[in-house]
Structure 1
Amino acid sequence: MIVQHPAQLFLGHKRACDQSEQYRCLSVPLQNNKKLKKVVRLSDETLAPRAFKSFTAEEDISLILIPLVGSITYGSNSANEVCVFPEELQIINLKKGNTFRITNKNEDALVNYLQIWVKMDLVPEKIIFDTYSHNQLNIVYGKKHVNILFGVFDGRREGFFTTSEQKNTLLTFVINGAFEVQNRLLESRDSLILSQTRLLELEALSENAIVLILEENN
């Protein structure tokens, strides 16, 4: 018998869009969910060549930056610039009211990256995960309150992940391709929030299917 766990699906093409000539932000409307308590922002952002975008932290958060295409540079008044590349994630602590900016220093190429805000006091650090294993879910960041998993799959290959506790909440974001996740179809840039799930099962439905999963420990 197929067990359907409590879930909320966000389609990629229906995300809120903030766009100018230099910048585009497609945000998953996490404020409309009742399961995630600590993850408050997941935005899929694109910057034009030599462009930058400034931000202000709306509360005390840890910022997680994950470049997908091209490198980005993080900068603020209180810290030196940090360059982050694909297959890396950068964690930065911010207090309410802190300002920062993200810059694309490339001369002729767009950059695409994920910006994640979590209401947790994570240790500032850079994680390099370029040695991940193919066709499986890899824990690229694992701490007491949050785990981040990353996987690149060939078509029809399956992946599994057992949560720390059944009460934890999972946020799945498809970076590329398509997956079946817990019997639900997710296509590129779709998101799925799952709760009360002990075992996560997924199957890639396309070649070079790429997925990112956040586990929030409740």
Structure 2
Amino acid sequence: MENNNEQINKYVLHKAATRGHANHGWLESYHTFSFANYHNPERMNFGVLRVLNDDRVSEGMGFGKHPHDNMEIISIPLDGDLEHQDSMGNVTVIKNGDIQVMSAGTGIFHSEYNKNKDQLVKFLQIWVYPNQKNVTPRYDQITLNLEDRHNKLQQILSPNSEDEGVWIYQDAWFHIGKFDKDFSTSYRLKKKGNGVYAFVLNGDFTIGGIELNHRDGLGIWDTNSFSIQANSEGAEILLMEVPMQL
């Protein structure tokens, strides 16, 4: 699609209701891109962003041990507590305010469980193609200061281990912002040729003249910067800047 707004030349809009949906009873998942039994040839990826799953895991349930390789896997908990175990010996719990990353590299196994008996777990599972293959698998998680995203964009991921947030083997930068109603800001891309996939966690936004609502996604490319305005109180958004070339 083309847009006459001077800040956005090219974009793709994915409304929340158009996502793939799977309900396994214990797991309800919405897929922005093709995943498992949801296959849409027009929605395979956005650049190196391969998977964006919006998952709800029932009380006491979870994903059994399963393998991955040569993928950067990012988990962002939104509600509840998710227990992680993996073949590297990590046993941890992640909750809202944390971000977890695994470089699967030559191969790992991991499991994820909701250990609470009285609360759903809601989290985003994100896969990014790496720029290096067959690296030694690694795991990291950090707890972020949620105040650092109030009316600003808090960096939560980058390519640099010395920078803010976690890091991955890719020229990608993720930010989360939570804004008061009518607050506006802009995002300037870090690397020429990258695109940004914006995903609304809560509330309503206008980005470069395009209206977005709860769980809508907007992929933007061929631009250097774009405007962001919150149209509701406590509106929260995730921005994922990624290379557009696989």
Normalised to the residue count of structure 1, the TM-score between the two structures is 0.90
* Cα distance change, pair 164–67 in 1 and its aligned pair in 2 (3 A): same
The whole-number CA distance in structure 1 between the counterparts of 2:110 and 2:172 is 23
Aligned residues: 218
Where does residue 110 of structure 1 map in the other structure? 120
Where does residue 124 of structure 1 map in the other structure? 139
Give the deviation of 1:59 after TM superposition: 4.6
The whole-number CA distance in structure 2 between the counterparts of 1:35 and 1:108 is 35
Where does residue 13 of structure 1 map in the other structure? 17
Indicate if the aligned counterparts of 1:127 and 1:141 stay in contact, CA closer than 8 A: no
SS of residue paired to 1:13: helix
Give the deviation of 1:24 after TM superposition: 0.7
Indicate if the aligned counterparts of 2:81 and 2:94 stay in contact, CA closer than 8 A: yes
Give the deviation of 1:33 after TM superposition: 5.0
The whole-number CA distance in structure 2 between the counterparts of 1:52 and 1:34 is 25
Where does residue 111 of structure 2 map in the other structure? 101
* Cα distance change, pair 139–65 in 1 and its aligned pair in 2 (3 A): same
SS of residue paired to 2:17: helix
Q: Are residue 161 (structure 1) and residue 187 (structure 2) matched? A: yes
* Cα distance change, pair 34–99 in 1 and its aligned pair in 2 (3 A): closer
Where does residue 152 of structure 2 map in the other structure? 136
Q: Which amino acid aligns with 1:83?
A: V
Q: Which amino acid aligns with 1:48?
A: S
The whole-number CA distance in structure 1 between the counterparts of 2:68 and 2:93 is 23
Normalised to the residue count of structure 2, the TM-score between the two structures is 0.81
Q: Which runs of 5 or more residues in structure 1 are unaligned?
A: none
Indicate if the aligned counterparts of 2:50 and 2:127 stay in contact, CA closer than 8 A: yes
Indicate if the aligned counterparts of 2:205 and 2:212 stay in contact, CA closer than 8 A: yes
Kindly indicate which of the two structures has a greater share of residues assigned to strand: 1
Give the deviation of 1:97 after TM superposition: 6.3
**Paired residue for 2:91, among 81, 90, 97?**
81
Aligned sequence identity (%): 22
Q: Which amino acid aligns with 2:140?
A: E
List aligned pairs for 1:178-217, cutoff 5 A.
178-217=204-243
* Cα distance change, pair 123–46 in 1 and its aligned pair in 2 (3 A): same
RMSD across aligned C-alpha pairs, in angstroms?
A: 2.2
The whole-number CA distance in structure 2 between the counterparts of 1:54 and 1:17 is 20
The whole-number CA distance in structure 2 between the counterparts of 1:57 and 1:183 is 42
Q: Which amino acid aligns with 2:79?
A: V
Give the deviation of 1:27 after TM superposition: 0.8
SS of residue paired to 2:60: coil
Q: Which runs of 5 or more residues in structure 2 are unaligned?
A: 35-40, 161-170
